[in-house]
Every structure is written in C-alpha cells, then in structure tokens.
Chain A
C-alpha cells in the first residue's frame, strides 16, 4: 500500500464517528467577522495606510506624477546609490531623473550580482491600510521576488487611492493566488533577542514607500 493510501485510509477511519457536512462551504462555515474595521473616506484610508506604514518604520513620502522623478532621484542620492535594480515594466519616467546605473531584472543575474546592487525601485499590486502592508505580485512593474529582497534599500511606489484597500479581506479579493505574492509590512525585523525589535536582518533594512497621487 502506498503511504498516500495509508494516510488517507487512516484519516477516513479516524473520522468514522463524524457525519459529513454536505452543505455548501459558505453555509457550513458562517463568517460573522467584519469586512472592514471602521468607516473611512478614501482619503482617510490613505492616511491610515501612511500612519501604519510609519508605525512599523517604513519611511513614507508623497508625490504627484510630476514630482515623482525628482523625489526618486533625491532618495537615491541621499542613499548614495550607484546601481539600482529596475523591473522591466517600471515606468521609465520614475527613475529618469536619477543619476544611477539601471540594472534590469533578468533571469541570468546571480544572487551575488544582485547583492552588489544598492537599491531597487518597484510598483506594487495592492496596499492594505489597516495593517500597513504592501503586496507585490510579480507583475512587470514589480519584477521577480528576489529583486525586492536582496538589495538593502527598497523604494516602493503605491498609486493612491486606486491601489489602497482598507483590510486583509479586501486585499485577498483583489489578488490572484496563481501569482507569487510577497506581503511586506515594514522593513525586515526580528524580536529574537530578548524580544527587542531590531529592524533589518535579511531583507531590505530600509523600506521607503512613495504614495503617488
């Protein structure tokens, strides 16, 4: 007998006392929890996102389409970045003003090569106000998962209010599970040493979020 059959057989015997619940799933598992916590205008939702991002030590900036290239230039210059990773579908305007070498996100880059890059600029798929989370889904303005992981400095552009939702339930509804997803809430952190929160272990130690309106 294969282990598959053995395990499934054990499960079925273990559940011999249980009558199956044949109602549709939604009925069998009622959900009385809220879809959103609190009532807010779209502007207030963006405000809450900014607050919660900052609470977990992401650095929050605001810009309009015109100001964005200059802001990106300034942030990269302040960081002293010389090389910047850019996903293939990132609007070229976003980094147009910056005086840096653009390294394009390519399959053939080794992790060691990515490790020498200073910064990365990406868009995002959705941002969640209640938790201060940005979610990347590997679309062409976000690139492969590793490019927002290996460099130590991540600039993420969120289009507001269009890409902002209030809550986790709303975010899941917008996301496609078939894509590789990365949920980011503040920079990498650990509390493993006496439960003291320290920012920055393996992921980018600086996360800057630009709210683009």
Chain B
C-alpha cells in the first residue's frame, strides 16, 4: 500500500490517543449507533437474508477459486465493449499507468469519485507529484481533502468530524481550491451540502478526465458497477471524455445475474437503505453517451498474496459495506485513524496485514485490535469469519511460518522477542483487557458466537495459559476509560 500512513504509531498507542479525544469519541458513538439500528431494520425487511448472505459468500468464493479464468474473461468482455484493460502488479505501477493516461489527454486536473483502491495506492499524491490535481468529489472525501485530514470510515470517511468542524473547514479552505464557501455559511447539513454542490459543480462541468473505482465487475458482460448516493459518481462517470477506473482484482463476479444478490445486500448493509440513491452500470463505451475512452486498471497490490493464504483469503470476499465497522466496540472507541490504513475497523485488521505484510509495528499489532466478540462476522453480508482470520494472523505474527509476499514464497520469522511481539502483546492487553476483568479471571466468551478460541494460539498459548482470557464485558472500554482517563486531549 502507499506510504501515506508510514510512521503511524502501532495500534495501541494510536488508539489510546484517540480514546482521549472527546469530540472524536462523541461523533463516532453517535454515528455508529444510528446506523447500526437502521441497518438492523433494513435487513429485517428481507426474510431471506441468510440465503442472500450465503449466496454472496458462495459467489465470491467460487470467483476467487477461479480468479485467473474470470480475470481473462473480464479482460475479453471489456475489450470487446470498447474499453482498454491495464494490469498493475503494485501501487507504483498502477499510479504510473494512471498518470501516463492522464498526461496523454493533456489535462492537469481530474475529478474523482470515492474509491478505496485509489486511496490504498496513494493515487492523489502520486498524481500531484506529476503536476496533476485530483479533486475528490464525494462530500465526505471533500471534507477530508480540504481539512488535510485522513479518512476514518470506509463509507463515511469524515465520520469523525461534526457539523461545526465541517463548516470551519469549508469556510477556511474552499477558497483555495475553487469557489469559496458563502460568508454566512451556517452548520446546518443542508447548507453545508449546498456549499459543496456549488463548489464542485464548476469542477464537474469542465472536467475532461474522471477517475473511479468500482463495486463490481461482471466477467461475462464486462459491466462495471458504481454504487453511490450523491450523484458525484454519475458526474465523474458520464461528463468527462476519458474515464479511468482502478479496481482490485477481487471485485469480479462471474455473471450479470450475480448482481441480484449484492444489489440487495450491499445497500442494506452499508447505508441501511433498501437501495442507495444512484447506481451506475456501464459496459465499455457507448456512442455519444458518456466518456469516449474507458480504461480499466486491474490492481493486485498484495491481493494475490492474501489469496495464497488458505485462511486469510476469505477477506477478499469483502464488498466494503462497512457494517463490521459500525458494530465493532473497538472501532467505536478507537476511531478509524488508529488502524493506520485506508481500511479501518475489523476488515482493516485482517486486510491490511495481508496486503502489506506484518513487518511494521502497526501491521503486526492490527490482528490484536479486536476483542473477538464476533459481532463483525454476524453482520457481514458475505460471511467473512473475521475472528477466525484474526486468530490466524496473530499466530502468524508470533509464530512466523510460510507466507507469500509480492508473489514470492517466504518464511516469516517468529516475532518472539522482537518489537512486533511486544507491540502485539501490548495491543492484546489494550484490546482484550481491562485490568479488572483480567484480575477477575473470566474466560473469553462471546455473546454472539459459539465458536471462539479459548486460548491464544502459538506462543500466545503460554501467555493465555497463565491468565485466563477475559470475557467481553458489557461496557469494558467505558469503565476502563473512566478509571484511566488522563483528562488530556491526546489526539491530533
């Protein structure tokens, strides 16, 4: 992944700083609780939810199992429909391809629709280094970009900002990027949205190049799908003359019909809606409607390494709905930034260490950023057993063993006695623990799952052998803070 987060402190330090920031905590708590309840209602409307979830899991597993075949089929269908397919083994190559494509158009600015993949590769920074300005057009991304901030949630990247902060950012920063915010801008969401509409409209109308990701790519037809709310996606996908989509290789589904599953599960899991306001689907180029040139950049960047891991590969089923973030007690308290990656929360804790390896302290500590309560697995619309992968990755950190890195087989050294182990153990204590419960010696027991490890694997076994793992108490972190809060504002 990109160097954006290099130098991040490991999860426990970053999380500790975050939990001391009262504003951040309040914003996150309000936001995650609101969406959690709404999601439950949206899901309850469909009485075949378990069957949809199972179908989603099977479709994705089948695709991953034959990924080579479906990638080749997709390339063929996109090409036949008038698109051009590029392959990027890593972030650097993807950035190079996109920068060259933009330069070939003679343009020095592009409009972008929110995409995890382009954040992962640090595309905006790479383009800027080549003199190309990339404008984020998603409201939340705009807030993040103007505030020189980092996203903290997959779906609502500015979830850590409240309306007053957003107004301040708009007032002070919009002018430097284009149309300034009105002098008398208040902090009502409708006014803030209006300011964003006017600020971005001039950019959309003159844009010649659009950059996007995609939620799905259909191998049989070559169709790409972007699911969104605001209409900025439609602007970027239809007004420019050139469209460049950077998409992870795992985003494929085999057939057109497969969309019937995900177009039901994704909106309900992510924004808790029956359907999101806008979904765009395009197949190559269309005469006199939309971009005349379409480029698809297929991105590996560690995905094939994850695919080589028999337990970890299930993380590639992820459809980035962010339901697991919204139910996670650790995420709710620590916030997205503590994960040191564009992929925060439970999915980030299993995806980042697989995409980037566990060499850095933050990546080695991520598998410990969880209490293994299992709520993430319960809500996941493709049934990724996140706790299972977490336990597996913990074992990898402490015991080492065979793995694949950048396509090469390697044997990871056990982290015993190394910085990573110390980080991991500190994180374990932070995440699991609560001194009171540790003393009480309750066993790790999940309220939501029957299957869970009783002891930590590997050398962790020795650790957990002497201390029973704590149960997940009703409000462990809140109690813990109340006792330990230093009363200082430690974040940012």
Once the chains bind, are B89 and A29 in contact (CB under 8 Å)? no
Known contacts A146-B239, A169-B260, A191-B229; is A56 also within 8 Å of B273 by CB?
Answer: yes
Report the separation of the CA atoms of residues A11 and B35 in the bound assembly, to the nearest whole angstrom.
37
Asked if B204 is an interface residue, CB under 8 A from chain A, the answer is: yes
Once the chains bind, are A111 and B204 in contact (CB under 8 Å)? yes
Asked if A193 is an interface residue, CB under 8 A from chain B, the answer is: yes
Residue of B231, B232, B308 touching A13 (CB-CB under 8 A): B308
Known contacts A138-B286, A198-B193; is A37 also within 8 Å of B257 by CB?
Answer: no
Asked if B162 is an interface residue, CB under 8 A from chain A, the answer is: yes
Once the chains bind, are A7 and B231 in contact (CB under 8 Å)? no
Distance from B222 Cβ to chain A, minimum over Cβ atoms (Å): 8
Interface of A is mostly: loop
Chain B residues with Cβ under 8 A from A6's Cβ?
87, 89, 407
Once the chains bind, are A180 and B277 in contact (CB under 8 Å)? no
Asked if B88 is an interface residue, CB under 8 A from chain A, the answer is: yes
> Count of chain A residues with Cβ under 8 Å from any Cβ of B?
73
Report the separation of the CA atoms of residues A189 and B196 in the bound assembly, to the nearest whole angstrom.
12
Segment of A16-24, A60-68, A71-79, A155-163 in the binding face: A16-24
Asked if B18 is an interface residue, CB under 8 A from chain A, the answer is: no
Once the chains bind, are A177 and B283 in contact (CB under 8 Å)? yes
Once the chains bind, are B257 and A172 in contact (CB under 8 Å)? yes
Residue of B68, B163, B276 touching A194 (CB-CB under 8 A): B163
Report the separation of the CA atoms of residues A131 and B66 in the bound assembly, to the nearest whole angstrom.
32
Report the separation of the CA atoms of residues A130 and B48 in the bound assembly, to the nearest whole angstrom.
14
Chain B residues with Cβ under 8 A from A39's Cβ?
none
Once the chains bind, are A115 and B201 in contact (CB under 8 Å)? yes
Distance from B252 Cβ to chain A, minimum over Cβ atoms (Å): 11
Chain A contact residues, CB within 8 Å of chain B? 2-4, 6-15, 17-18, 20-21, 25, 28-34, 37, 52, 56, 107, 110-112, 115, 128, 130-133, 138, 144-146, 149, 168-169, 172-173, 177-196, 198, 200-204
Chain B contact residues, CB within 8 Å of chain A? 27, 30-31, 34-35, 45-48, 51-52, 54-55, 58-59, 62, 65-68, 71-72, 81, 87-89, 93, 137-140, 143, 156, 158-159, 162-163, 166, 189-190, 192-193, 196-197, 200-201, 204-206, 218, 221, 223, 229-232, 234-235, 238-239, 249, 254-257, 259-261, 263-264, 271, 273-283, 286, 288-290, 298, 300, 304-305, 307-308, 310, 313, 404, 407
17 A-B Cβ contacts within 8 A? Answer: A3-B87, A10-B404, A17-B310, A20-B65, A20-B66, A29-B55, A34-B47, A132-B274, A172-B259, A172-B260, A177-B283, A184-B277, A189-B230, A193-B192, A195-B35, A201-B193, A202-B204
